[in-house]
Amino acid sequence: MTALTVIAHALTPALRGLVLGGDAEPDPASVEAVRELKLSADAVYAGPERAAVQTASALGFDPVVEAALRDREYGEWAGRDLEDLLGTDPSQVSAWLERPHTATPGGETENDVIARVADWLGDLAERHGDRGSVIAVVHPAVVRALVLYVVDAPAESLRHVDVRPLATVNLSLHAGSWSLALH
């Protein structure tokens, strides 16, 4: 059995301020808090965001950076504050928030993210088989997509999965199938 621990990266100003996308430095206090986690793994992966890589480093790992584990692509809205977007184009933002099958202009839908992380999980299963322990440090949106994929929930369920910085989710692979592993 492969055990996968997925960790949401440390808090960033973008997460605090509801800014879509970006690659901000993580909050130093949040990075310091992650040092308290005592984890070991046969392999460690991280999304390409600085916060993900620095969170993995604070855990004592030199992660393999995986593009497939990147945050959702927000296209033209990348780096913009959600409140500002609501002020300039409330109908388009409302449509995007209410229907996860809707992409931001030039961006990804929630289903796109779920498909991307599902492909990564399939690759991970091929690399590690049914053995070993793996850690992935990623943006909270990627944690949510992984959970939705594993429990076979529709993208509309994303608003029911709240992922905070440094949250952890445990998944297990057995006989080619991923499961949510509650401890």
Does pLDDT of 129 surpass 80?
A: no
Tokens representing 78 are 């990348």
Identify the structural domains of the chain with CATH numbers, from first to last: 2-180 (3.40.50.1240)
Does pLDDT of 61 surpass 80?
A: yes
For 1-36, the pLDDT digits (tens) are 789 999 999 999 888 888 999 888 999 999 999 988
β-pairing verdict for 177-180 and 168-174: antiparallel
For 80-98, the pLDDT digits (tens) are 999 999 999 899 999 898 8
Long-range contacts: 118-124, Cβ < 8 Å, 24+?
A: 118/149, 119/68, 120/66, 120/68, 120/69, 121/146, 121/149, 121/150, 121/178, 123/68, 124/2, 124/4, 124/45, 124/173
Give the global pTM: 0.94
| DSSP type of residue 103 | P
